Amino acid sequence: MSFEKNDAWLYEITSEKKAFDLNLKEVWRYRDLLILFVKRDITTLYKQTILGPLWFLIEPLFTSVIFTLVFNNLGNISTGGIPPFLFNLTGITLWNYFATCFTGTSDTFNKNANIFGKVYFPRVIMPMSVTISNLVKFGIQLLILISFYIYFVLSGANISPNYFIFLFPLLVVMMALTGLGLGMITSAMTTKYRDLKILVGFAVSLLMYISAVPYPIEVAREKLPAFAANIITYNPLSQILEGFRFMVLNTGSFSWGGALYALAFAIGIFFLGLIIFNRTEKSFIDTV
Amino acid sequence: MTILKAENISKQYRLGVIGTGTLSHDLNRLWYKVRGKEDPYLKIGEVNNRSSKEKAEYVWALNDINFEVKQGEVLGIIGKNGAGKSTLLKILSRVTLPTTGVIKTKGRIASLLEVGTGFHPELTGRENVFLNGAILGMTKAEIAAKLDEIVEFSGCELYIDTPVKRYSSGMKVRLAFAVAAHLEPDILVVDEVLAVGDAEFQKKAIGKMQDISKEGGRTVLFVSHNMASVKSLCTRGIVLENGTTVFEGTADESVEFYLSRGKDQNKLALRQRTDRFGNGKLKLVQVSFFNQNNIEVDQVISGEFLKIRFTFEKYDNQIDYNRFFLGVTFKDDQETSSLSYLSDEMGSDFSNLSSRNFIDLVIPNIYLRGGVYNLRIQTGIGTRREDHFDTIEEAATLHILPGNLWLNGKLNRPGNYAILPGKYIV
């Protein structure tokens, strides 16, 4: 047989680690599984609940109402002529996508220890499927945003999107990569140090406040001390959110530099996450 | 052609509570690594013996395992609980990594470690077939091509579009096994799946396993406690004990070796036992079991050869061995007699016992169902109470494993009673 001559092994199972093992070939081989996981997540998410997918709507709406009351009515944050409710809803819609991707993937190993302990498939399929199925939820919430957008336009608000709206898919991909990357890093660490799981919950809610969700970056630069303003400006998530509001509401600032910075960050954190995740996947079952 | 090769496989596990002090151990490891020294927690040589508490914090579940598997071979991996079988399977199926060593393979490995992995209760049977198949490494097209076959094999046609949460546990298992059985990897790893389902389904499953290995020419690694199925399915075997390979050979040799390793340690106690009845002119001091190759065992397979040796100590030189009586009764755990060999009705001649100190009972085929039997042994001159020399209840324990005694590839059912040769004729 031809095998015998070149003695080619298909693969080896060993504890020696390669520095850059992205394992993307295996992921491609298991693409059907990825699709099936996404399908499973979507079809089973709201089975046997009273409101079903309506939950998707309630969450951002309530948050926006509260934010409007607290930040705009109480806190007097200026949204630059944009109806504050719409301003908040815009930010929250995109932020929620990031947050669900991050929290949904950050517990991958612990949550799936049972199935991971029995069969091998590229583990990264799991967080990827979470990110993709969250896209469906995001899509539904986007529809809410669009309906309110139309409502506000009809009722005479001075808002209009600009040409940058064509970059919208790129923004979503950036959000997905950032959330997935951070989630994979966290999930790799939670296998050993469980307390990180507790951290994720409140880290996400704190992160929102320094990611320019309920206020424009401009206002932060005016009102906050320099170091806090810098944190917010150099937070790539604020750049993505600011960019989103800019293209949808034509408000705030947009800089190519900021966008490229956020893009570089997203790609960087994704590949870093992938490397760390792939290192952990091989033996996490012993420590989980 | 060698399709799979395991070289120096070792696997270390931590004892005690995982989670406390991991950070400090990690830092310590890092410190040794920075200085270019070996990992301080990787001391080779600690034996994995679960019954005695180990001083070390880490233990080797597997220690330097080496083996090769050729294409088309069915390798049986046998060993007691805790021998390291499951760890080896986990490594083979890439669920975890070995601590040291390497496994090289020329084919894709799929494992049937536990059937039904990833079944989602809310999805229908059909959806779960696809999901489970994909988890096990099949593509959607492959599953679609085999869907009818899988559904038919499982016998769940009627419920295939019903959510799996409405299934009985037996149906779930059958559907899951059906998916797994239709996998077509180069190397299949099977662990005790034959223990699932009712008798009829088990038969189907064993038949499928035989098809896979014999007709398909597929390489199979088979892990089981069921010695009869190892013997009938496997071509080669390895025996694991405390994480090391203690034997490698043909399936029959391996099973024999395994059975001979499990000899009971409490045999010595027979001499010291005081719960015996009789005048003590002669004392039973040992009962041992042998298989057809005269190897001492404490388990035999139903339908196979068994020799029982009774060893005595004599305390009276005047015994008339022509009138000697030996009665051996196999009793189940309910104290019910299953089988007895009574020397007087058998017309046994014990006259030679005056110059020997043991008697052998030779049973060409032990036609008892798989189970645990206790032996009541009675000796004396005749059977009258005052003539008993030495009578002991539960003098020895014999484990009988279900076997293929009808020679048709089917295991007889377990139970605590005899099967006699016979035949239905129409």
Q: B294, B288, B301, B310: which is closest to B399 by C-alpha? A: B301
**Tens-place pLDDT, residues B366-381:** 999 888 888 999 998 8
Residue A9: inside a domain: no
Q: Which residues in chain A have their CB less than 8 angstroms from residue B140's CB?
A: 32, 35-36
Question: Per the domain annotation, does A17 fall within a domain?
Answer: no
Query: Distance between CA atoms of A63 and B215, rounded to whole angstroms?
Result: 63
Residues of B with CB under 8 A from a CB of A: 1, 13-14, 18-19, 22-23, 26, 90-108, 111, 113-114, 117-118, 120, 122-123, 127, 130-131, 134-137, 139-140
Instruction: Find residue B390's DSSP bridge partners.
Output: B379
CB contact under 8 A, B105 and A10: yes
The answer to whether B92 contacts A13, with C-beta atoms less than 8 Å apart, is yes
In a domain, A67, yes or no: yes
Q: Do A119 and B95 touch (CB under 8 A)?
A: yes
pLDDT band at A287 (very low <50, low <70, confident <90, very high): low
Residues present in chain B in total: 426
Is pLDDT at A2 greater than 50 in this prediction? Answer: no
Contact B23 A43 (CB under 8 A): no
User: H or E stretch including B376?
Assistant: strand B371-381
Q: Nearest CA to CA, how far is A221 from chain B (Å)? A: 40
**Would you tell me how many other CB atoms lie within 10 Å of the CB of residue A133?**
21
Q: Rounded to a whole number, what is the distance in Å from the CA of A191 to chain B's nearest CA?
A: 10
Distance from CA of A111 to the nearest CA of B (A): 12
User: Mean pLDDT per segment of 10 residues, for chain B of length 426 residues?
Assistant: 87 62 70 69 50 60 88 86 82 85 85 72 89 87 91 87 86 83 81 60 70 74 78 86 88 82 57 82 89 87 91 86 90 81 89 88 90 88 83 86 81 81 86
Do A14 and B103 count as a contact with CB atoms less than 8 A apart?
A: yes
Question: How far off is chain B from A183, nearest CA to CA, in Å?
Answer: 21
- Two structure tokens written together for B68: 């090769």
Starting at the edge strand found earlier in the chain, the sheet holding B100-105 runs: A11-14, B100-105, B2-14, B58-70
Are A3 and B1 inside 8 Å of each other by CB? yes
Closest chain A C-alpha to B99 CA, distance in angstroms:
6
* A200 falls within a domain: yes
What is the pLDDT, as a whole number, of residue B224? 77
**Rounded mean pLDDT of A155-174?**
87
CB-based contact B97 A192, cutoff 8 Å:
no
Q: Residue B423: its pLDDT value, please?
A: 86
In a domain, A2, yes or no: no
> How many other C-beta atoms lie within 10 A of the C-beta of residue A195?
9
- Mean pLDDT across the stretch A140-162? 88
CB-CB under 8 Å, B105 with A8: no
Length of chain A: 288
DSSP single-letter state for residue A210: T
Residue of B nearest to A2 (CA): B1
DSSP string, B111-162: EESSTTTT--TTSBHHHHHHHHHHHTT--HHHHHHHHHHHHHHHT-GGGTTS
Using one digit for the tens of pLDDT, what is the confidence trace for A181-228? 999 999 988 887 777 888 888 899 899 988 888 888 888 888 888 888
Q: Which residues of B touch A121 (CB under 8 A)?
A: 135, 137
Expressed as residue numbers, the domain containing A29 is 24-286
The whole-number pLDDT of residue B265 equals 46
For the CA atoms of A58, A59, A64, A69, what is the dihedral angle to 10 degrees?
90
Handedness of CA B424, B415, B397, B279 (dihedral sign): negative
pLDDT score, position B262: 56
Instruction: Return the number of other C-beta atoms located less than 10 Å from residue A112's C-beta.
Output: 16
d(C-alpha B209, C-alpha B216), whole Å: 10
Chain segment A78-89, per-residue pLDDT in tens = 887 788 899 999
* Closest chain B CA to residue A36: B131
Best of B135, B139, B142, B143 to disrupt the A interface by mutation (most A CBs within 10 Å)?
B135
Torsion angle (degrees, nearest 10) of CA B57, B61, B67, B70: -140
Q: What is the pLDDT of residue B231?
A: 80
**Pairing mode of beta strands B2-14, A11-14:** unpaired
| pLDDT value at residue A283 | 67
What pLDDT score was predicted for residue B19? 45
Burial class (CB in 10 A: 0-12, 13-18, 19+), B190: buried
Cβ pair B284, B377 in contact under 8 A: yes
Closest in A15, A192, A282 to B22, CB measured: A192
Contact A40 B117 (CB under 8 A): no
Number of domains chain A contains:
1
Cβ–Cβ gap A47/B122 under 8 Å: yes
Give the nearest partner residue to B13 out of A8, A35, A286, using CB atoms: A286
Give the confidence band of A5 by pLDDT, cuts at 50, 70, 90.
very low
Inter-chain residue contact B96 with A30, CB threshold 8 Å: no
The pLDDT confidence band at residue A3, using thresholds 50, 70 and 90, is very low
**Helix/strand/coil percentages in chain A, nearest 5:** 70, 0, 25
Tokens of B421: 């040769």
Nearest CA in chain B to A113: B95
Residues in A lying within 8 Å of B, measured between beta carbons: 1, 3-4, 8-16, 30, 32-33, 35-37, 39-40, 43-44, 47-48, 114-121, 192-194, 282-283, 285-287
Structure token pair of residue B91: 């490594």
What's the pLDDT at A138? 92
Collapse the DSSP code of B374 into the 3-class scheme (helix H, G, I; strand E, B; otherwise coil) and give the result: strand
User: Are B105 and A15 an interchain contact pair (Cβ–Cβ within 8 Å)?
Assistant: no
Confidence grade of residue A7 (pLDDT, cut at 50, 70, 90): low
Which residue in A has a C-alpha nearest to residue B89's C-alpha? A118
Q: From chain A, pick out residues whose CB is under 8 angstroms from the CB of B99.
A: 15
Q: Which of A33, A195, A278 to mutate to test the interface with B (most CBs of B within 10 A)?
A: A33
Distance, in Å, from the CA atom of B226 to the CA atom of A25, rounded to the nearest integer, reads 39
Determine contact, residues A120/B117, Cβ cutoff 8 Å.
no
From the list B261, B283, B279, the residue with the least C-alpha distance to B270 is B283
Dist CA A154 CA A147 (whole Å): 11
Three-state DSSP state, B54: coil
CA distance A182 to A101: 9
Q: Is residue A219 part of a domain?
A: yes
Give B215-255 pLDDT, tens digit per residue. 767 788 888 777 777 887 888 999 988 888 888 988 888 88
What was the ipTM of the complex prediction? 0.81
| Residues A143, A162: Cα–Cα separation, whole Å | 19
User: Does the residue A7 lie in any domain?
Assistant: no
Asked if residue B46 lies in contact with residue B58, where contact means CB atoms within 8 angstroms, the answer is yes
Contact A43 B123 (CB under 8 A): yes
Per-residue pLDDT tens over the stretch A24-80 = 888 888 999 999 999 888 888 777 666 677 777 888 899 999 999 998 888 888 887
Strand-by-strand arrangement of the B306-314 sheet: B296-297, B282-290, B306-314, B358-363
pLDDT of residue A167: 87
Structure tokens at A151: 């409502």
CB B39 within 8 A of CB B29: yes
**Yes or no, beta carbons of B130 and A11 under 8 Å apart:** no
In a domain, A74, yes or no: yes
> Looking at residue A76, what is its pLDDT?
82
Nearest to B117 among A9, A115, A286 (CB): A115
Give the pLDDT band of residue A21 (cuts 50, 70, 90): low
Please report the domains of chain B, with CATH numbers, ordered by start residue: 2-7+64-259 (3.40.50.300), 265-401 (2.70.50.60)
The β-bridge partners of B386 are none
Alpha-carbon distance A33 to nearest alpha carbon in chain B (angstroms):
5
Smallest CA–CA distance from A27 into chain B, residue: B137
For residue A1, what pLDDT is reported? 38
Q: Which residue of B has its CA nearest to A48?
A: B122
Biggest CA–CA distance in chain A, Å, is: 79
| Contact between B108 and A10 using a beta-carbon 8 Å cutoff | yes
Give the closest of A36, A285, A287 to B131, CB-based: A36
Sign of the torsion angle spanned by Cα atoms A234, A239, A242, A246:
positive
